[in-house]
Amino acid sequence: MSDRAIPRSYRMMQGFGVNTYCLVNDKGQRHFVKFHFTPELGVHSLVWDEALKIAGQDPDFHRKDLMDAIEAGHYPRWKFGIQVIPEEKKDDFEFDIQDATKIWPEELVPIQYIGQLELNRNVDEYFPQTEQVAFCTSHIVPGIDFSDDPLLVGRNFSYFDTQISRLGPNWQELPINRPVCPYMSLVNRDGQMRHRITKGKVNYWPNRFDANPPSSPAHGGFATYPEKQRGVKARALSDKFSEHFNQAQLFYNSLSPIEKLHVSKAFSFELDHCDEEIVYKRLSERLAVVDLQLAKTVAKNVGGNTPTKAPKENDGKTSKGLSQFDYLSDTAQITTRRVAILIADGFDLNSYGDMKSALQQQNAFVFTIGSQRQGVTSGSGEKVIPDHHFPGMRSTLFDATFVPGGKHVDVLAKNGIAKHWIAESFAHLKPIAGVNEAVDFIRKQINLDAVKYASDGQVKESYGVVTAHGAPAQLLQVSSNIGSESKGFIDQFIWQISRHRNWQRELDGLVDEIAA
């Protein structure tokens, strides 16, 4: 129910360790491990109304976003980290470290970043390289081993079985799935859709011909860790698996105010579609175990019984890395952010061109959205060919919007999509910028007294709406050090884009006043 469920981009998703594996060193010592991938672009999400609309407007939005970034040479990267617990300390925690529903709080088990994952080329053909890819939790290399994590054990069987059903018994020989180094399958031979021709009579070791010995004779190939066992080992879960609420409280406590608001809205939205009275009433009560105010808010919205007392005390503990704001960069990084520039006949070419150039220098993806794609004529007579026209695009597919000055605002004011574009962008908390004549156009679409605008000779930022009056050549100069204290027009717009969204609009209730 948190914002993590609606990511802005695959490139901004965190690979969050769920299953517990083991690391075995050359001394035969075992450590339990969780793997993490943290995106260098930060962890960002859409807002819910935006996500609903994108699903219909462009179902391939995320795929295109990833491929466009790679194609442009802005390769997405993730820091690769591990959390490690020595075998002798596995029982030192209030939770079972092999419970896949539990995190390992970073305060107790820090993440050690040891590598990087980079996606630096797109697939050549979608079906054989994406549709036929087969990931398996059971595919490991020497040095990595399985734990008794019950979810992992189940996946080791089910994933393998799924691949056989989906791709056939020799799915591991498909080019996208086979190892890039020489290998021998010790258990598979023949069957439908065989891709390799195996010489000799045996594909197992040891064999009477001494053929195909393992590449590491000293170890005899892969061997699992010889686990030390104390007492009786049973097919059962530890009592710690029965504790379900401590980490739910920890997660919710760690969220920022806007993320908590989104959690309450998410529960309210989903339960509003539930027709079983007993379900939404019981869940309203159950949420009180996590947070009493959350439960009260949801119960009011969905028709549940308002709880008056929390069944379980909340100790207020928090943990870093659970809020997406923990990954927000301190710098004004807008690489690959999608910015729309709205134009119609009569637009000011100087403010249009200067803004586009300034944003492209910051590695943003800039798109011109015009009244028609045959060409839009500036106030000085030059023609610009837009990337899209208004009926073909919507604000939901962009991170920010700029409206240049010029008499074209009279045309925009008669275009329902252009007007809705500004209102919808504001409702979705996105940065909006405009200069000169465009300032009044933006003001009329938002129409809220709380939002302030620039007058003659001024630059003004208010709730992520950046406006200015003056000559474009001076307004659209980018400084070398953009930050929260920047005063320039373009600097403030870039800074607002780098913050992803202006959450204060929603916290102050301005979004509720916009018909979008």
CATH number of domain containing 431: 3.40.50.880
User: Do 306 and 354 fall into the same domain?
Assistant: no
Residue ending a domain, among 173, 205, 221, is: 173
Residue ending a domain, among 127, 153, 173, is: 173
User: Do 427 and 287 fall into the same domain?
Assistant: no
User: Do 349 and 261 fall into the same domain?
Assistant: no
User: Do 271 and 389 fall into the same domain?
Assistant: no
C-alpha 490/C-alpha 384 separation (Å) is 22
User: Do 137 and 53 fall into the same domain?
Assistant: yes
User: Do 11 and 153 fall into the same domain?
Assistant: yes
User: Do 375 and 453 fall into the same domain?
Assistant: yes
What per-residue confidence (pLDDT) applies to 220? 58
Q: In 119-230, which ranges are E strands?
A: 144-146
What per-residue confidence (pLDDT) applies to 203? 74
DSSP bridge pairs for 32: 22, 85
The answer to whether 82 touches 31, Cβ cutoff 8 Å, is: no
* Residue 492 is assigned to a structural domain of this protein: yes
* Residue 455 is assigned to a structural domain of this protein: yes
* Residue 236 is assigned to a structural domain of this protein: no
C-alpha 116/C-alpha 72 separation (Å) is 20
> How many domains does one find in the chain?
3
User: Do 129 and 266 fall into the same domain?
Assistant: no
User: Do 257 and 154 fall into the same domain?
Assistant: no
* Residue 131 is assigned to a structural domain of this protein: yes
Query: For 348, which DSSP code?
Result: -
CATH number of domain containing 164: 2.40.180.10
What per-residue confidence (pLDDT) applies to 187? 62
* Residue 156 is assigned to a structural domain of this protein: yes
CATH number of domain containing 271: 1.20.1370.20
User: Do 306 and 350 fall into the same domain?
Assistant: no
| Ordered per-residue pLDDT tens for the chain, 516 residues | 999 999 999 999 999 889 999 999 989 899 999 999 999 999 999 999 999 999 999 999 999 999 999 999 999 999 999 999 999 999 999 999 999 999 999 999 999 999 999 999 999 999 999 999 999 999 888 899 999 999 999 999 999 999 999 999 899 889 999 888 766 665 667 888 888 777 777 777 778 888 777 766 555 567 788 887 777 778 888 999 999 999 999 999 999 999 999 999 999 999 999 999 999 999 999 999 999 999 999 999 999 999 999 999 999 999 999 999 999 999 999 999 999 999 999 999 999 999 999 999 999 999 999 999 999 999 999 999 999 999 999 999 999 999 999 999 999 999 999 999 999 999 999 999 999 999 999 999 999 999 999 998 899 999 999 999 998 888 888 988 899 999 999 999 999 999 999 999 999 999 999 998
The range of the structural domain enclosing residue 441 comes to 338-513
User: Cβ of 473: how many Cβ atoms within 10 Å?
Assistant: 10
DSSP run (H or E) holding 478: none
* Residue 223 is assigned to a structural domain of this protein: no
User: Do 301 and 344 fall into the same domain?
Assistant: no
**AA identity, residue 145:** D
pTM of the model: 0.92
Residue ending a domain, among 157, 173, 189, is: 173
What per-residue confidence (pLDDT) applies to 82? 98
Structural tokens at position 218: 């000293």
* Residue 500 is assigned to a structural domain of this protein: yes
